[in-house]
Amino acid sequence: MRERIQTALGALEPQHLEVLDESHMHSRGLETHFKAVVVSPAFAGLNAVKRHQKVYGTLGELMGQFHALALHTYTPDEWAQLGQAPDSPTCRGGH
């Protein structure tokens, strides 16, 4: 699943792309929770909601095949200043 997400996000022509399987941090099983760090010029001028909508649209039907996706979307200039995305929080359970 991680590779499928990564391949789909390639359509955004990212300058930097990380897709991490964080399922081990949660109690819902394998390949259920992912984190994506996407750096793309396609995000220029878009707020966080519009950036996330662009990612969701790019993933299409894949969105229904896993439980959660933590998104960190940046323009190249933002990424040059930050250089890294924040760590994911520890899961609180959520049974």
Concatenated DSSP letters of the chain = -HHHHHHHHGGG--SEEEEEE-GGGSSS-TT-EEEEEEE-GGGTT--HHHHHHHHHHHHGGGGGGSSEEEEEEE-HHHHHHH-SPPPPPPP----
Other beta carbons less than 10 A from residue 26's beta carbon: 17
Q: What percent of the chain has pLDDT over 70?
A: 84
- Each residue's pLDDT tens digit, 14-58: 999 999 887 766 555 566 778 999 999 999 999 999 999 999 999
CATH class of 2-82: alpha beta
- Residue 67 pLDDT: 72
Instruction: Break the chain into its structural domains and give their ranges.
Output: 2-82
